[in-house]
Chains A and B, each alone.
Chain A
């Protein structure tokens, strides 16, 4: 097998649904041993990219390779890639265990393996019940169990925490981390950056069918014009505080009644400056950029474009046909 088998390589994918361009030159790679977050608003092309990776949809241009091969050429695809696309995609009249069993049979995997993934995902006795009666959380676990069945080096999860309760989200995060720690390539899509905070090592941020940023989480946070300090101070001292801090080279903005937002100085320096000038204040708090803020900053441009010509053809519109949630 040429190339690392635990690698995803997407090059120049283009795809249109009617008049809407779903993918417009999508390119990125996913490396083993880390969780790569695949982030963008609904309709940005996350699900379409994943469907193309799995050979379900055809791209008009470009290539989507897993371990150096297109999906359709994989000999034993479930041993190469595990995917959770849509947790609701199980037959409601079939028992959860039977759903896993037919997948196992397709690759001549023993029934023992089915019981292992049932154990691993905590599906437990629910596996003996019909999937139609499952909660969303149980469906997600069943979908994860199906993805893990072939013990694949590459995993694709489309919005895996969507609809999970807090305990389920915690479990999912731990699972994603440990899968990456085992050296697998893990691609996780989400339309909420906050869902990936503390989980993803690397981010591929997309909008309107193309990659906006392909960066490590650390770099993204560092690059965000993030570190600000909030100063609470009373009315009479506010103007003096602004003058003192501005003179020291900070950018100061009055962001609320009695609140100043200062950037360009750290909290310790702000306290020292205000104290030295005898300005009274009731609080100084450092404010670190969150992943969400860094992401918002990054996507503002794309979002503004999308919000402009609103209408059914807007690629980010909730009814955008490129959105995996809406298409079917």
Chain B
């Protein structure tokens, strides 16, 4: 047990530069997330659940229902990516925990002591959570598409080339969808501060609204709900066929989700910047 020596003080050094400090806050957020095993479990769950559910749903399809397999008009890409409905759950938990976990454990005070400019802290969290989600989302989408194709090809389905425009839109759009959902959850975590409350709220918005739409008997209201719910609107981007039958187009759908995300982040920023911690 040594007393404190004078210590080779780190001094201002290069760290005093404002630019380096901003990067420092991002670096700190990355270190925080990577040093929790739960982060890696949740990211694995995003990939695992998305791929597994995609394979299961693809496997349940039989081309035998179509008169000629070549005339099947199933949206095979969208079917292969159905697992996002499961994978997004893990994304939501990860993103909410990135903020609410800090309130729950009290580390939010250390975080704000290290970065007193609160918007910067939120931005750093958003950047790191967004990047991790994008990486896991890209792996999940690639895995689900490739595995789904294998299953469907074995069944004799005609498959579009992976380089076709709508397929690329569905793939990139799904990754974007996951990132936007993560940021929505992050904003909710910052606004509500409590893990259970925030996770419940985001799950309700992402899963209950579409379910509710299914229960509404009035078709006009049903469509309205599907257009406004962040998950159903956002996932319109996965469609590669029968676009006219969608309640909302692929990119407008993603724009609806973006609006939800922006609102959640704005609420989170407002709470973070105005309230005591």
What string of 1s and 0s marks CB contacts (under 8 Å) between B97-126 and chain A?
000010001110110111111000000000
- B158 on the interface (CB 8 Å rule)? no
Q: With A58-B276, A90-B107, A108-B21 as given contacts, are A103 and B5 in contact (CB-CB < 8 Å)?
A: no
Contact among A90, A94, A106, A182 for B28, CB-based, below 8 A: A106
- B14 on the interface (CB 8 Å rule)? yes
Query: Which of A93-133 touch B at CB < 8 Å?
Result: 93-95, 98-99, 101-103, 105-110, 113, 116, 119-120, 122
Q: Does the CB pair B35–A102 fall under 8 Å? A: yes
- B24 on the interface (CB 8 Å rule)? yes
Q: Does the CB pair B28–A103 fall under 8 Å? A: yes
Which label, helix, strand, loop or mixed, suits the secondary structure of the B interface? helix
> Of A27-35, A170-178, A223-231, which stretch is located at the interface?
A170-178
Number of A-B contacts (CB under 8 A): 130
Query: Which of B29-63 touch A at CB < 8 Å?
Result: 29-32, 35-38
> Of A146-154, A188-196, A203-211, which stretch is located at the interface?
A146-154
Q: With A102-B35, A103-B28 as given contacts, are A122 and B115 in contact (CB-CB < 8 Å)?
A: no
Q: Complex formed: what's the CA distance from A85 to B112 in Å? A: 13
Count of A residues near B, CB < 8 Å? 53
Q: Does the CB pair A88–B106 fall under 8 Å? A: yes
Q: With A56-B277, A103-B28, A151-B10 as given contacts, are A72 and B1 in contact (CB-CB < 8 Å)?
A: no
Q: Does the CB pair B27–A105 fall under 8 Å? A: yes
Q: Does the CB pair A94–B35 fall under 8 Å? A: yes
Contacts of B16 in A (CB 8 A): 75-76
Q: Does the CB pair B106–A89 fall under 8 Å? A: yes
- B20 on the interface (CB 8 Å rule)? yes
Q: Complex formed: what's the CA distance from A88 to B110 in Å? A: 12
Q: Does the CB pair B32–A76 fall under 8 Å? A: no
What string of 1s and 0s marks CB contacts (under 8 Å) between A72-84 and chain B?
1011111101010
Q: Does the CB pair A72–B109 fall under 8 Å? A: no
Give min CB distance, B28 to chain A, whole Å: 4
Q: Complex formed: what's the CA distance from A193 to B9 in Å? A: 32
Q: Does the CB pair B113–A83 fall under 8 Å? A: yes
Contacts of A85 in B (CB 8 A): 109
- Closest 9 pairs between A and B when the two form their complex, measured CB to CB: A89-B106, A106-B28, A98-B35, A108-B15, A151-B9, A102-B31, A106-B114, A57-B276, A122-B1
Can you list 29 residue pairs at the A/B interface with Cβ under 8 Å?
A51-B109, A56-B277, A57-B277, A72-B116, A77-B115, A83-B113, A86-B106, A89-B109, A90-B107, A91-B32, A92-B105, A93-B37, A94-B35, A95-B35, A101-B31, A102-B29, A103-B114, A105-B27, A106-B25, A106-B27, A108-B14, A108-B15, A108-B20, A108-B23, A108-B24, A108-B27, A120-B4, A175-B3, A179-B4
Which residues of B line the A interface, CB within 8 A? 1-10, 12-16, 18, 20-21, 23-25, 27-32, 35-38, 101, 105-107, 109-110, 112-117, 276-277
